[in-house]
Amino acid sequence: MAQSQQPLTGKRIACLAADGVEDVEYTQPRAAAEQAGAEVHLISLKPGEIQAMNQDIDQANRYRVDRTVNEANAADYDALLLPGGTVNPDRLRVNPQAMDFVRAFFEQQKPVAAICHGPWSLVETGMVNGRTVTSFPSLRTDIRNAGGNWVDQQVQVDNGLVTSRSPNDLPAFCAKMVEEFAEGRHVRQMQTA
């Protein structure tokens, strides 16, 4: 694909993940963004590397962290990716700096994409209130209790927020993620009920 045809050329994407991230939910969206021309940075809680997992049980690859959440600034990025795995978002949602980082993307009206258990960060920050989202089915009650409308869809888009249920949804998730990231800011991104 010619450089001029790449929809994310010149865009910088932050991927917020910690130990326990589901390997394929990190690697496939990252590859889709990079193939569309984006520069992607792995942001995490600590420097060094994070340990990815396969189905929350088996160790997968390790990935080099580009910046810690304390070093990163949402203003330096055009969009945010939140991959899942059960352990990864659970570690993130109890870290105040990580949740401030997530919230900043909404405050700056930038697109956000979250898959599987990734929407736990959206629940923690209050960003599902008044939104229609999907996720791994076990988050359904959490999302509803946080004021969100949970739907069982392969991919759901709500004003710059892209969500999907599981690795099975990755092709649809990646396509919509690239589309929303290419569109850029969404003025209704911060509006919640």
What are the tens digits of pLDDT across the range 30-67?
999 999 999 999 999 999 999 999 998 999 999 999 99
Domains identified in the chain and CATH numbers: 3-183 (3.40.50.880)
User: What pLDDT sits at residue 189?
Assistant: 56
Minimal CA–CA distance to 142: which of 168, 170, 163? 163
Predicted confidence (pLDDT) per residue in 63-90, tens digit? 999 999 999 999 999 999 999 999 999 9
Q: Which residues contact 23 (CB under 8 A, 6 or more apart)?
A: 52, 53, 54, 60, 61
Q: Which residues carry out catalysis?
A: 116-117
Q: Are 129 and 146 in contact (CB under 8 A)?
A: yes
Question: What is the rounded average pLDDT of the residues 150-161?
Answer: 96
Residue for token digits 């021309």? 37
User: What pLDDT sits at residue 5?
Assistant: 75
Q: Are 155 and 176 in contact (CB under 8 A)?
A: yes
**Confidence band of 191 (pLDDT split at 50, 70, 90):** low
